[in-house]
Amino acid sequence: MKIGRRVRQGYCLSPILFNLCSECLTKEALEGFGDLKIGGQIIHTVKHADDLVLLTKEEKVLQDMIDKLIEIGRCHGMEMNVEKTKVMRISRQPFLVKIMIDQKQLQNVGSFKYLGSILTNDSRCICEIKCYG
């Protein structure tokens, strides 16, 4: 199929079309993965706009998920921004995670802000309580 026109950034259909493409891409890439159950359901991702959080219990599974997501994304002309991609292990033990994209190791972070909430690697809400208390 030949594409004749693009949808411009800021056009009302842009976010809808992006979400449709993103949903199809992540479903295709992450099919067969999954070891994290929440409420009895396997959860692979948390998504909002162009942000994507991958969830898994094991480092190797996360690396495999990222590799597959990059492979499928490139087939569809999409690239992952390595500079903006971070990794965080939520655990009582402060071990770093070694995840690679194109021979570059992703930066480990101890916390990050997602949808206005601060998520920390020890899964506590102390930072949130101090900010609002």
pLDDT in tens, 100-129: 999 999 999 998 888 888 888 888 776 666
Question: Rounded to whole angstroms, how far apart are CA atoms 21 and 35?
Answer: 24
- Report d(CA 17, CA 57) in Å as an integer: 31
Which residues does 25 contact at the CB level (< 8 Å), separation at least 6? 69, 72, 73, 76, 78
In this predicted model, what pLDDT tens digit does every residue of 13-67 receive, in sequence order? 888 888 888 889 999 999 888 778 888 888 888 888 788 889 888 999 999 999 9
Question: Residue 133's pLDDT band (boundaries 50, 70, 90)?
Answer: low
Structure confidence at residue 131 (pLDDT)? 58
